[in-house]
Amino acid sequence: MNYAVRVDVTLRTGIADPAGSTIERSLPTLGFDGVHRVRAGKLFLFEVDASSPDEALLTAQKLADRLLSNPVIEDARCSLAED
């Protein structure tokens, strides 16, 4: 069976996020006051052939840990993608 998977990669808590900081500093000049703690990340969407949703998520997590993220400084969260 074919499963749509979503992988969200973000910097771990405590790791400086220069992109998020730059976005946050720009928000007031664009009229977005009261927005705080902006964190930037990466989103990956793909499909996995697997026999079950759990197997698809396990494959996605292995892929995220080995290729899509740096496990030393980033967290990768895998989920089944919603249509």
d(CA 50, CA 48): 6
Question: What tokens appear for 38 in the block?
Answer: 């902006």
Question: Which residues partner with 5 through β-bridges?
Answer: 46, 80
d(CA 36, CA 33): 9
Residue 83: pLDDT band with limits 50, 70, 90: low
Q: Please report the pLDDT score of residue 50 as a whole number.
A: 98
User: Number of structural domains, the chain?
Assistant: 1
What mean pLDDT is predicted for residues 63-77?
A: 97
What mean pLDDT is predicted for residues 74-78?
A: 98
Q: Please report the pLDDT score of residue 47 as a whole number.
A: 97
What mean pLDDT is predicted for residues 39-67?
A: 98
What mean pLDDT is predicted for residues 11-38?
A: 96
Domain that holds residue 49: 2-80
Q: The CATH number of the domain where 70 resides is what?
A: 3.30.1280.10
CB 20 within 8 A of CB 40: yes
Q: Please report the pLDDT score of residue 82 as a whole number.
A: 84
